[in-house]
């Protein structure tokens, strides 16, 4: 393992003014997104859509540091035969790959999930590296709820097995000279308040870093992709932008060692503008010990998906919508965003 090189890539992924495009929707998820805009989820439509994003020159060269791909996409070529990975590289962004294989029900823990995909991962990583991937992603999913057996969710079992798998994956990535994005997502579904989210996320992050240490993962060669401390979507009392920013930074400072080069948030179902405003507000609370940016899926793609709607004549509009969101989040990653910039663009 060349840790200097892993650290260089991890640092580039969270460079100020840039962030990560999470375009790694699995087949089921992209179908849901396409259903919402009335587009059939065929292999060529998925390729055309992602090619549109990766050919968005302004977004890709100025505001996007890396792209997380799904297995299908990393092997796909653009319409003119250029591998999509090459399009990403030529824009100056780093190609990455989602390597988990989704979730399964966790035995003995009703309602809870464990992320799978460790079998043959070492071999898969080797092939992805040869194809150009320099970082990877594995997402664990932790729900907050009351549970059907009265024991409460999440259980220590779910937190423990998911942290163990995240660390196994991260160690395998580093051995393959690939930077692991470690994503333990505490879902914002549900009616819990921000303090409950804070408390659960703290337990999850502490356990995750404990496992990373036990399994000898080099913290200098990874990126953390966490949720923010935020109110559940159905909570009657929604925390303010300032509250989310203050509690998220307090939580991360308590749990994430300064050796970690960067933190890149998931958006988790927040609206586009909320996700941008939260990141921006966090940068008002600096200086921070790590790079802090975005790794958004929905909060970067909802607008371009709508503008594109599967029509070739809408490609330029889709690219404009993507570049706008990428620029807004790029500014937020430096604390330079203002809501008036959104209105001007509209």
Active site residues: 183, 225
Question: Residue 139 CB, nearest distance to ligand 5MM (Å)?
Answer: 4
Rounded (10°) angle between helices 298-308 and 43-54: 110
Question: Residue 80 CB, nearest distance to ligand 5MM (Å)?
Answer: 26
C-beta nearest to ligand 5MM: residue: 297
Question: What is the distance in angstroms between the CA of the first residue and the CA of the last residue of the chain?
Answer: 47
Nearer to ligand 5MM by Cβ, of 291 and 297: the residue is 297
Nearer to ligand 5MM by Cβ, of 81 and 262: the residue is 262
Nearer to ligand 5MM by Cβ, of 68 and 94: the residue is 68
Give the separation between CA 328 and CA 322, rounded to whole angstroms: 10
Give the separation between CA 269 and CA 37, rounded to whole angstroms: 17
Check if the beta carbon of residue 170 is closer than 8 Å to that of residue 127.
Answer: no
Backbone φ and ψ for 139, nearest 5 degrees, come out as -115, 125
List beta partners, residue 114: 104
Question: Residue 207 CB, nearest distance to ligand 5MM (Å)?
Answer: 19
Residues that bind ligand 5MM (CB under 6 A): 22, 24-26, 29, 68, 139, 185, 266-268, 296-299
Question: Residue 227 CB, nearest distance to ligand 5MM (Å)?
Answer: 8
CA 254 vs CA 115, 200, 247, 250: distances in Å: 26, 13, 11, 6
Nearer to ligand 5MM by Cβ, of 169 and 296: the residue is 296
Give the separation between CA 3 and CA 220, rounded to whole angstroms: 8
Nearer to ligand 5MM by Cβ, of 4 and 278: the residue is 278
Neighbours of 86 (CB within 10 A): 15
Question: Which candidate, 248, 257, 237, places its Cα nearest to that of 279?
Answer: 248
Question: Residue 231 CB, nearest distance to ligand 5MM (Å)?
Answer: 16
Q: Is the bond preceding 35 in cis, omega lying within 30 degrees of 0?
A: no
């Amino acid at each position: 393992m060349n840790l200097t090189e892993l650290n260089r890539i991890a640092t580039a992924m969270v460079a100020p003014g840039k962030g990560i495009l999470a375009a790694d929707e699995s087949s089921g998820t992209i179908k849901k997104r396409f259903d919402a805009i009335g587009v059939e989820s065929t292999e060529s439509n998925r390729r055309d859509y992602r090619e549109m994003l990766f050919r968005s020159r302004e977004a890709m060269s100025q505001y996007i540091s890396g792209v997380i791909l799904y297995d299908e996409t990393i092997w796909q070529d653009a319409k003119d035969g250029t591998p999509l990975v090459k399009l990403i590289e030529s824009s100056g962004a780093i190609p990455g790959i989602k390597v988990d294989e989704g979730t399964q029900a966790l035995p003995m823990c009703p309602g809870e999930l464990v992320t799978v995909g460790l079998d043959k991962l070492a071999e898969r990583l080797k092939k992805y590296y040869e194809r150009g991937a320099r970082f990877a992603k594995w997402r664990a999913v932790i729900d907050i709820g009351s549970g059907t057996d009265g024991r409460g969710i999440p259980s220590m079992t779910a937190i423990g097995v998911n942290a163990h798998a995240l660390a196994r994956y991260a160690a395998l990535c580093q051995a393959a000279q690939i930077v692991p994005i470690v994503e333990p997502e505490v879902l914002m579904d549900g009616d819990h308040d921000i303090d409950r989210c804070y408390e659960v996320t703290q337990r999850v992050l502490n356990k995750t870093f404990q496992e990373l240490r036990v399994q000898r993962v080099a913290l200098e060669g990874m990126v953390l992709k966490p949720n923010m401390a935020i109110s559940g979507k159905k909570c009657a009392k929604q925390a303010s932008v300032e509250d989310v920013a203050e509690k998220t930074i307090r939580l991360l400072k308590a749990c994430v060692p300064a050796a970690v080069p960067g933190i890149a948030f998931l958006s988790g179902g927040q609206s586009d503008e909320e996700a941008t405003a939260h990141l921006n507000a966090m940068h008002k609370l600096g200086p921070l010990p790590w790079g802090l940016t975005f790794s958004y899926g929905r909060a970067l793609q909802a607008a371009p998906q709508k503008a594109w709607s599967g029509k070739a004549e809408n490609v330029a509009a889709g690219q404009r919508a993507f570049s706008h969101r990428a620029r807004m989040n790029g500014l937020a990653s430096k604390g330079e965003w203002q809501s008036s910039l959104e209105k001007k663009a509209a």
